[in-house]
Amino acid sequence: MIQNNLKHVEENIIKACKKVGRDPNEVTLIAVSKTKPVDAIQQAIDYGIQDFGENKVQELTSKIEAIPEKLNWHLIGHLQRNKVKYIIDSVCLIHSVDSIRLAMQIEEEARKKGIIANILIEVNIAKEESKFGVAKEDVPKVLKEIKNLKHVCVKGLMTIAPYVENAEENRKYFSEMYKLFIDMRSENADNIRMEILSMGMTGDYQVAVEEGATMVRVGTGIFGERDYTI
């Protein structure tokens, strides 16, 4: 079941790329395994998936401990500053950096460990009250501040689009994100490299790929519905 789902999602990504003349190798599928057991992750590993996304620090660290394979773990959920230290050297990318204060905390913990932390700036593109993320207008300011941090490297931008019934409704937001992503290349510096655009979930990843996503984060479409009651 999980492996069939993965095949289906990969085929959809290839189709979306073909439609707009993109190379499917430009798009990384992140399997979002939050709330799902290690056994489900193992099935995805057996299929060939290496990139997994989790949104809670505690769940992420216990899964890393439980799985012997060396994987690429992505932190995709809101990160509290006091928890940075628990994940700083075990994730390949933090997608959800939504303030300069959080970036500075990441700098501090990365410096202590002698590493460079890769991050994305989360943008609240639809200006939703309920969502985290930097306002589009503030992204240049945030990047300018981060330029001074020596242990943080900004790899690109991330967004969580609104929940919609029809994915087409999010096309305008994905297209706005892509424009911002390209515009922000003017801010490139030693530690600012606009290479990754993380957007698109189960309901809308094909549209996100058509509009330029380089990483899509798919949970339900791979592992099935999540049960938050257990």
Ligand X SMILES: *Cc1c(COP(=O)(O)O)cnc(C)c1O
Of 21-29, 63-71, 145-153, 216-224: span binding ligand X (CB under 6 A)? 216-224
- Taking the C-alpha atoms of 114, 120, 121 and 123 in order, what is their torsion angle to the nearest 10 degrees? -160
Of 97-105, 146-154, 166-174, 215-223: span binding ligand X (CB under 6 A)? 215-223
H or E segment and range at residue 131 = none
Q: In angstroms, give the least distance from the CB of 54 to ligand X.
A: 9
Does 199 interact with ligand X (rule: CB under 6 A)?
A: no
Does 217 interact with ligand X (rule: CB under 6 A)?
A: yes
Of 16-24, 101-109, 123-131, 213-221: span binding ligand X (CB under 6 A)? 213-221
Does 197 interact with ligand X (rule: CB under 6 A)?
A: no
Of 17-25, 44-52, 79-87, 199-207: span binding ligand X (CB under 6 A)? 199-207
Calculate the alpha carbon distances from 61 to 87, 152, 194 in Å: 7, 21, 28
Looking only at residues 103 through 142 of this chain, which bind ligand X when binding is defined by CB under 6 A? none
Contacts of 81 (CB under 8 A, 6+ apart): 101, 102, 105
Does 160 interact with ligand X (rule: CB under 6 A)?
A: yes
Calculate the alpha carbon distances from 108 to 73, 81, 115, 168, 198 in Å: 21, 11, 10, 41, 25
- Taking the C-alpha atoms of 38, 55, 167 and 44 in order, what is their torsion angle to the nearest 10 degrees? -20
C-beta neighbour count of 26 within 10 angstroms: 13
Does 156 interact with ligand X (rule: CB under 6 A)?
A: no
Looking only at residues 28 through 87 of this chain, which bind ligand X when binding is defined by CB under 6 A? 32, 34, 55, 76-77
- Residues near ligand X (CB under 6 A) are 32, 34, 55, 76-77, 160, 201-203, 217-221
